[in-house]
């Protein structure tokens, strides 16, 4: 049985995907193979994954539905091209003119990446907090949904690109169904070990049915 947090995770991905309009990409949690060039300009991405959950003990039992306070992390990534070779900055033989040009180009790319991130965050925020998406298009109501936090990382120069990542936290709550599973009945296992001098052969393990 799929749990509610899995359903909500997939609903978030679908909702953001439906709102892309060619302005970003929505993907599940998959770091491998990701690079700056894959997030260049409007290839910027939003990655969604379940981060953690809390289950308040008060008012809950092992036989009833359990309240799940859940958190999902949104990882936003953008990249901008640099109109200069950034390896010049680390080259001891670079001329002052080359260094000046490389630093200026890097600063401009960082500025553009920062603005691109602000725009991406605006698109994501307005999509998630839109009143029409209050239930994430799910049949059962998702309670207390909220974008609790947003934080940018530091610009990361990578060759001909500047790469910028930010993180947002989406929280909500829902009840997880605890249907219970029918276990397999126990039995008696006679594990007799024949030892020298043990004529009675009482050595063994006895497990009774519960």
Q: Which is higher by pLDDT, 15 or 159?
A: 15
Average pLDDT, the chain: 80
What number of other Cβ atoms are within 10 A of residue 143's Cβ?
Answer: 13
Tell me how far apart the terminal alpha carbons of the chain are, to the nearest angstrom. Answer: 26
Quick one: pLDDT at residue 206? 45
- For residue 123, report the phi and psi dihedrals to the nearest 5 degrees: -60, -45
For 104-120, how does the pLDDT look when each residue is reduced to its tens digit (9 = 90+)? 877 888 999 999 999 99
* Half-sphere exposure in the Cβ direction for 63 (13 Å, CA): 0
For 145-200, how does the pLDDT look when each residue is reduced to its tens digit (9 = 90+)? 899 999 999 998 877 888 999 999 999 999 888 776 555 555 544 555 555 565 55
Q: Which top CATH class is 4-176?
A: alpha beta
Q: Domain ranges for the chain, please list them.
A: 4-176
Q: What pTM value is reported for the model? A: 0.74
User: For the chain, what is the largest distance between any 2 Cα atoms, rounded to a whole number of angstroms?
Assistant: 97
* Residues 6 or more apart in contact with residue 78 via CB below 8 angstroms: 39, 44, 113, 116, 117, 120, 163, 164
Average pLDDT over residues 122-132: 94
């Amino acid at each position: 049985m799929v749990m509610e947090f899995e359903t909500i995770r997939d609903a978030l991905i679908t909702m953001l995907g439906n709102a892309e309009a060619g302005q970003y990409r929505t993907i599940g949690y998959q770091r491998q193979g990701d690079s700056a060039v894959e997030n260049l300009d409007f290839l910027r991405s939003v990655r969604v994954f379940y981060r953690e959950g809390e289950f308040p003990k008060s008012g809950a039992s092992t036989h009833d539905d359990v309240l799940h306070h859940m958190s999902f992390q949104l990882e936003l990534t953008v990249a901008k091209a640099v109109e200069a070779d950034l390896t010049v900055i680390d080259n001891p033989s670079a001329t002052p003119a080359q260094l000046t040009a490389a630093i200026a180009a890097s600063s401009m790319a960082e500025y553009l990446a920062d603005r691109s991130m602000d725009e991406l965050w605006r698109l994501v925020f307005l999509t998630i907090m839109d009143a029409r998406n209050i239930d994430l298009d799910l049949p059962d109501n998702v309670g207390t949904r909220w974008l609790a936090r947003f934080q940018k990382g530091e610009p990361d120069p990578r060759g001909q690109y500047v790469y910028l990542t930010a993180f947002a936290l989406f929280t909500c709550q829902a009840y997880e169904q605890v249907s219970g599973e029918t276990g397999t009945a126990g039995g008696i296992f006679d594990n007799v070990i024949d030892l020298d001098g043990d004529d009675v052969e009482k050595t063994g393990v006895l497990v009774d049915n519960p």
